[in-house]
Each structure stands twice: as structure tokens, then as C-alpha cells.
Structure 1
Amino acid sequence: MSTKVGLFLSRAMKGTVLLREAQQALSTDTRFPLLKTVIYQRQCLSDAPIQLATVFDFSNTTAKSAAADDQALFTEALKLLG
């Protein structure tokens, strides 16, 4: 059985130099592929556990965007495993 590994960035701030530099630095190591999906820092991600919920339970725009990012990450990770 072989092990497959992929890295992803989380708690990233959209549009920052730090995000771009992290993506550039991490994309150079072919042993650990960097997934394209990024999980961005959002208040709803911090609030969800306190409300005994996930972002999939909320209906506001920010939570829907966070849920879409999570779904994209799951889909991309499953493709990597396949």
C-alpha cells in the first residue's frame, strides 16, 4: 500500500503577499503536492464550534463561501487519492 500526501493552506488571508509566497515556496517540492484549494481565514469558521455547528449549517454569504471552499478541498483531496 502506498501513502499519498497533499498539502493545503489554511487560515490564509486572501490576496496577501504571504499567501502568494507560501504557495510559491510549497509548490516547488514534488514529494508533497500543494493542493490548489485554499481555506481562508473567516470568522464563521471560528464561530461554528461555539454554536455547535459547521459552516454547512449557516446561510449567510461568508459561511456559504467557506462551505464551498471546504467542498472544493474534499473533492480535490479525493481526486489525489484516486
Structure 2
Amino acid sequence: MNNRSSDYSPFHPWYYYLGGAVISLKQTKARIAIKDVESYRAEEFEEINSRVEPRRSETLLLIKEKIMQELARDISAYRRAVRELNI
């Protein structure tokens, strides 16, 4: 089996393992926007949207804070991985 990085999406670890070029965070965001990817939390957001105010807004703010913390953690891990790959 002769795999190439082009056999995988840049969102798959094997893409990089097989020598695929690292895409920037801006390129990642653009690719996700083009694909119109639904949030993995879509069902949760639907349930929250059915709540009354101010509980709805309070819950959304808490989720936003958590997501922003997770994003910061993930970006740090991404940058660390890129450095380790010497790219």
C-alpha cells in the first residue's frame, strides 16, 4: 500500500505523518466555512435556544467561555506540534 498525504484531508493526522504541508489556522477556518460544517454541539445549542431569557444568555456565555478556553488550548497544542515537526 503506497499512501500519499493527498490521500488524506489536512484534518487527518496521517496527512501530516505522510509529509503533507501544514495549513495555517486561517486556512483551517476557511476550509471549515466552505464545507459549512455543523457544530458537534448543534443539538445542545438547539436545546439551549428553547430556554427563556436570561437563562438562555447565561448558559450561552458559559459555553462560549469554555469553548474559547478549549480553542486556546487546541491552538497551543497545534503550534507545539508544528514546532516538533520542524516545519
**TM-score (norm. length: structure 1):** 0.34
**TM-score (norm. length: structure 2):** 0.32
Give the structure with higher Rg (CA).
2
Higher strand proportion: 1
Q: Which has the higher contact order (CA 8 A, sep 6+)?
A: 1
